[in-house]
Amino acid sequence: MLDHLTVVSHPLVQHKLTIMRDKDTSTASFRKLLREISLLLAYEVTRELPMTTRRINTPLQPMDAPAIDGKKLALVSILRAGNGLLDGILELIPAARVGFVGLYRDPETLQPVQYYCKLPDHLDERLSIVVDPMLATGNSSVAAIDLLKAQGAKNIRFLCLLAAPEGVARMQEAHPDVPIVTAAVDSHLNDHGYIVPGLGDAGDRMFGTK
Ligand code: URA
């Protein structure tokens, strides 16, 4: 079992994250770094997958070689910023099934409002990995995981780039069975629900919007 919270302290992850946090980092660099970091985080979040063996023939002899067991993974991106993490992870796990949950934060209440949901089938038989770069209040991730569970998902992990203590606590309270993998847990949320020190609005930074 993964711990409830895993902070990936690998020097490559931390170095890339520092460049991403810098407000002078360009959109192109931010996007490229997010892709690179998502590969490293995907490596961590896919630890301890059930394994089986497959009979193959090496050039020298037959062998029972290790292979991942079970149905294809489901990757679920919380739109729109989740797509930045999704692209990189799909490079590593190209056969994964992909779902999307569209949620926006009401700027006054900070509560998530759902506008889209399309999830892979047979979620009860798959490991689902929900991706969103920023675990801020936790409201969107909790709502997205509620949707997955309503469609039968039992084995869920959550992957983000940055988390706030408030979001980690909210997830722990609502979904204690869902391990979180992140590159850092920052100090706090400000009055607008932004992670401090954070990196700003992840969607705006990766898509070059304001
Ligand atoms: N979403 C973001 O993009 N950034 C934050 O700091 C919090 C939520």
The domains of the chain, with CATH numbers, are 5-49+73-207 (3.40.50.2020)
Instruction: Indicate which atom in ligand 1 lies nearest the CA of residue 204.
Output: 3
pTM value > 0.90: yes
Q: Looking at ligand 1, which residue's alpha carbon is closest to its atom 5?
A: 194
Pocket of ligand 1 (CB under 6 A): 81, 134, 136, 193-195, 198, 201-203
* 189 Cα to the center of ligand 1, angstroms: 9
Catalytic residue chosen out of the listed positions 21, 31, 35, 105: 105
Give catalytic status of residue 204 as yes or no: yes
pLDDT at position 168 is 98
Please tell me the distance between residue 148's alpha carbon and the centre of ligand 1 in angstroms: 22
Per-residue pLDDT tens digits for 31-88: 999 999 999 999 999 999 999 999 999 999 999 999 999 899 999 999 989 999 999 9
Listed in sequence order, the residues at least 6 apart from 123 whose beta carbon sits closer than 8 Å to its beta carbon are: 74, 148, 151, 152, 153
What is the value of ipTM here, to two decimals? 0.95
| Mean pLDDT over each residue of the chain, to the nearest integer | 95
